[in-house]
Chain A
Amino acid sequence: MIEVRGLSKHYRIAKRKQGLLGAIQGLFIRKYTSKKAVDDISFTIASGEVVGYIGSNGAGKSTTIKMLSGILTPTSGDVLVNGIVPYRERQKNAKKIGAVFGQRTQLMWDLAPRESYDLLKHIYQIPEAIYQKNLHEMTEKLQLHSLLDIPVRQLSLGQKMRCEFVAAFLHDPAVVYLDEPTIGLDVAAKSRIRSFIKQMNEEKGTTIILTTHDMQDIEELCRRIIIIDNGQILYDGDLHAVKNSFLHEHVISFELDEEKEEILIPGELEGLVTYIPEEGNSNKLTLSFHPETISAAQVIAAVLHHYRVRDVSIAEPKIESIVQEIYERGA
């Protein structure tokens, strides 16, 4: 379905010199620096897979997606999507793909979503029956009925993004690229969108590549993840394998009922957990531990046994911390 071999993209950035003299000089001689945004990556994605493409900011995720969708021409290497070289046959490729870019709307701002969809029907030449069926099913799944006739500019971000998803899937694309589609959304909108992505993948077999900073997106949707850092692939494989071998630190924070001079780690946890000092809070006990040595339940039970606890919070595992760990280990 998607084949990427030795793919690289180097951006050329013009070096500007300071001051007036530099500006004048820049008109005649330009010096360029090269930025390796994507550096010799290879992977294959089978039809029907949902792959999480993750990495920190500036890692090269969007650049990769732009090359897959035909917007960018690679500096070197091969891309093949549905048997098409995207940047050579941009429009042919376009008919078979869909995309959602977070915080960038593809719907017409002043028109109601329904009118944008109607336009997409003609642009993608979707047969009327299929169009009606898809529109009905998708608005049902995303609960959009009441929004279809309101101009897009009057919708909230969450409502708008749900409408974007219909636009991306309406023409039954074989592949859909989702570049940080849940950024800035509230929990409810995120969960609706996640279940929509899941259903589309299961019912239509749509291949999906998802970039996100939200670990929960990844955990609920992706079996496989590809981690990219500095333009290079650090890891490509099973999500659970990476979580177990790399995501060692789990962090639990307890808010105690009383202020204490010194908070001691319960005896039975000695050596199994690490105490993380918190600034300014004399009633907070924050512990980190490896899930293989001790379970979260055991840690909580031990603390509850010694202290009166008002609140417990378990820190979300962060994608950044996985990347960091892999990096430090030199994997």
Chain B
Amino acid sequence: MQKYWKLLLSQVKLDTAYSLRFWAGSITSVIRLVMLYAFWQAVYENRTTIVDISLEQMLTYSVLAVLLSSYIAGAGTQLAAGVLNGDVAIELMRPYDYINKLISLDLGSKLTSIIRETLPMLVVALLFIGIHAPHSWEHALLFLFSTLTGILIGAQIDLVVGLLSFWTINISGLRILRASFLLFFSGTLVPITLFPQWLQIVCTYMPFPSMVFVPVSIYTGQIQGADIYPAIGLQLFWLLVCWMVSRLFWLLAKRRITIFGG
């Protein structure tokens, strides 16, 4: 366990090694926030609500969704690069599990982005944009738990996409597909409740809403009361499914390296 922790820390060191890149990250995320604000201001120009959502609620949702969406990627890109340059084979002769190593590094990156992106964005959002507080204390705690689950689902899906590079040479198409699916169906762009009814039903059969829409809606109170626990249960179900799929793919990928030589 300790070795994975050290791997995580090494990634933190790496991410903070270039202070210029570090602060550039902070600035871009604040700019994104300002653009978000301007966008919704414009949309709400001549009305007070859209489908019963007020500007303040919409801004709160969007800001949190954007904050969260920077955590739902994972180690897939690194994995795909490792497959391409043949490093995966070399990694098999280390006394650790390569996938667990990648997950540790990824968590390390996420730890730095809390400081680099999330904190500055939160400060700006609270001071200037005026997002509202969580629906209740209970909602705040469940939001944190739900967020963590959502992030883990995202990391597993990203690994699965990365693992596909063992079977397809060109993975960039898949990554674009994944990114656009995520943006739309996770609820990062707009809350899923704004979708037409049939599309909302389709969404319940996908893991994507569990990544952003569910945790943020718990924060804002769009999901409340008796609906909360089934929503979290569904998240946990998707986490289990995605984890099993990524492990299966990794087993197959490992078999492929050790038998076909990469």
What chain B residues lie within 8 Å of A110 (beta carbons)? 14, 17
Decide: B259 and A73 in contact? CB cutoff 8 A: yes
Whether A122 contacts B2 in the complex (CB less than 8 A), given A11-B261, A66-B89, comes out as: yes
Cβ distance A8 to chain B, nearest Cβ, rounded Å: 13
Whether A70 contacts B92 in the complex (CB less than 8 A), given A11-B261, A108-B14, comes out as: yes
Whether A71 contacts B14 in the complex (CB less than 8 A), given A122-B2, A122-B6, comes out as: no
Q: Interface 1/0s, chain A 83-114, versus B by CB < 8 A?
A: 00001001111110101010010101011000
**Is there a chain B Cβ closer than 8 Å to A182's Cβ?**
no
Task: Name the interface residues of B78-130: CB closer than 8 Å to any CB of A.
Answer: 86-87, 89-90, 92-97
Decide: A90 and B6 in contact? CB cutoff 8 A: no
**Is there a chain A Cβ closer than 8 Å to B30's Cβ?**
no
Decide: A71 and B257 in contact? CB cutoff 8 A: yes
What chain B residues lie within 8 Å of A69 (beta carbons)? 93
Q: Interface 1/0s, chain B 169-207, versus A by CB < 8 A?
A: 000000000000000000000000000000000000000
**Is there a chain A Cβ closer than 8 Å to B137's Cβ?**
no
Query: How many angstroms between the C-alpha atoms of A11 and B259 in the bound complex?
Result: 8
**Is there a chain A Cβ closer than 8 Å to B260's Cβ?**
yes
**Is there a chain B Cβ closer than 8 Å to A12's Cβ?**
yes
Interface size class of A (residues with CB under 8 A): 20 to 34
Task: Name the interface residues of B209-262: CB closer than 8 Å to any CB of A.
Answer: 257-261
Whether A71 contacts B260 in the complex (CB less than 8 A), given A119-B10, A125-B3, comes out as: no
Q: Interface 1/0s, chain A 59-77, versus B by CB < 8 A?
A: 0000100100111110000
**Is there a chain A Cβ closer than 8 Å to B64's Cβ?**
no
**Is there a chain A Cβ closer than 8 Å to B161's Cβ?**
no
Decide: B6 and A99 in contact? CB cutoff 8 A: no
Whether A71 contacts B10 in the complex (CB less than 8 A), given A11-B260, A11-B261, comes out as: no
State the interface size on chain B (CB cutoff 8 A).
23
**Is there a chain B Cβ closer than 8 Å to A202's Cβ?**
no
What chain B residues lie within 8 Å of A97 (beta carbons)? 93
Decide: B258 and A106 in contact? CB cutoff 8 A: no
Whether A90 contacts B92 in the complex (CB less than 8 A), given A111-B10, A122-B2, A123-B6, comes out as: yes
Cβ distance B71 to chain A, nearest Cβ, rounded Å: 22
Decide: B7 and A91 in contact? CB cutoff 8 A: no
What chain B residues lie within 8 Å of A63 (beta carbons)? 261
Decide: B258 and A94 in contact? CB cutoff 8 A: no
Whether A91 contacts B13 in the complex (CB less than 8 A), given A122-B3, A125-B3, comes out as: no
Cβ distance B84 to chain A, nearest Cβ, rounded Å: 14
What chain B residues lie within 8 Å of A108 (beta carbons)? 10, 14
Query: How many angstroms between the C-alpha atoms of A72 and B258 in the bound complex?
Result: 4
Task: Name the interface residues of B1-46: CB closer than 8 Å to any CB of A.
Answer: 2-3, 6-7, 10, 13-14, 17
Residues of A within 8 A of B (CB): 11-12, 63, 66, 69-73, 87, 90-95, 97, 99, 101, 104, 106, 108, 110-111, 115, 118-119, 122-125
Residues of B within 8 A of A (CB): 2-3, 6-7, 10, 13-14, 17, 86-87, 89-90, 92-97, 257-261
Q: Which 3 A-B pairs have the closest CB atoms?
A: A122-B6, A94-B95, A73-B258
A-B contacts, 7 listed (Cβ < 8 Å): A71-B257, A87-B258, A91-B95, A99-B93, A104-B90, A108-B10, A111-B14
